[in-house]
Amino acid sequence: MTVAPSLRPLGNALGTEAVGVDLARDVDDATIAWIERAFAEHPVLVFRDQQLDAAALAAFGARFGRPQPHILEQYRHPDEPMVSYITNVAKDGGIDRFGVKRASSWHTDETYEEALPRLAILHAVEMPATKGGTIFADMRAAYDALPAATKQRLDGLIALHGHTNGPDAVKLYGAAYVRKSETARPVRRHPAVRRHPVTGRAVLFVNPTHTHGFAGMDEAAGLRLIEELRDHATQEQFTYYHSWRVGDVLMWDEVATMHRSAGDARADERRIMLRTIVHPN
């Protein structure tokens, strides 16, 4: 007899372990339906002690929508284009010392694109001995807790998104790099508050890496608002630090959450993960 899977909280705000699922074996329709129900409530869902190759990870992702190839070919897995390598190990085996800082500003993936992803999945292959975690923020709870006046201000507001021209990306990458990366890139417009497509809940959809302003608002006021919303949403009561173990499969909701690499591991330790980003069908 198979035992039904169960849920166990990992953090106070979000972060939930799904116990009793072997993703290499029991991904039948009933299990997927169970995961979908759990995921609607728990937007950071962790499966421990898994062992998936790139093809199996892409196949698992495909149960929830359409996995997409990484924009940059150099990051794609050689056998499975729908899976990318997140690694600080260079081709010659050396460590990319900037790797520890990459993606360490708060963001939601790919909001510089018109078509937004539904969810992403990371699978830990090699991790530093300590630290090197990923931090998630619950943008549903963050929205609910905003003062009424801020909610009113955000109502109907359109946010402007670029690749790395949000205030926190400028700090992380430097103004010169940002100018180069934004050349000829279209500005994307997304509502500052989105309705979650599955649950219908209101979600704060502004992130300080890609959002660099709001339609009809002057630049300085826009930057102040982005920073104010970041400071609000990243308070401890809305966040969860995930300490990775090799074998973790972690799926997160790309509408309901924002995340960042903690950037706190030693720069010379290897960190390798497989990732797939899934768009809605």
- What is the rounded CA–CA span in Å between residue 223 and residue 274? 33
Residue number, 31 or 99, with CB nearest to Fe ion: 99
- Binding residues for Fe ion, total number by CB under 5 A: 1
- What is the rounded CA–CA span in Å between residue 25 and residue 27? 6
Residue number, 151 or 194, with CB nearest to Fe ion: 194
- Smallest separation, CB 178 to Fe ion (Å): 17
Residue number, 109 or 138, with CB nearest to Fe ion: 109
Indicate the pairing of strand 158-161 with strand 211-214: antiparallel
- What is the rounded CA–CA span in Å between residue 121 and residue 274? 8
- Smallest separation, CB 103 to Fe ion (Å): 5
Buried b (16+ CB within 10 A) or exposed e, 221-248: ebbebbeebbebbbeeebbbebebeeeb
Residue number, 117 or 146, with CB nearest to Fe ion: 117
Residue number, 31 or 111, with CB nearest to Fe ion: 111
- Smallest separation, CB 95 to Fe ion (Å): 20
**Bridge partners for 273 per DSSP:** 86, 124
Instruction: Report which of 173, 176, 248, 256 is spatially closest to residue 210, judged by C-alpha positions.
Output: 173
263 in Cβ contact with 169 (< 8 Å)? no
Is 253 among the residues that bind Fe ion (CB under 5 A)?
A: no
Scan residues 161-180 and list those touching Fe ion (CB under 5 A). Answer: none
- Smallest separation, CB 208 to Fe ion (Å): 13
Q: Which two tokens stand for residue 276?
A: 């797939």
Scan residues 108-127 and list those touching Fe ion (CB under 5 A). Answer: 109
- What is the rounded CA–CA span in Å between residue 22 and residue 198? 25
- Smallest separation, CB 172 to Fe ion (Å): 13
Which residue number is nearest to Fe ion in terms of Cβ?
A: 109
Scan residues 70-109 and list those touching Fe ion (CB under 5 A). Answer: 109
- Smallest separation, CB 131 to Fe ion (Å): 18
Residue number, 34 or 205, with CB nearest to Fe ion: 205
By the criterion CB under 5 A, which residues form the site for Fe ion?
109
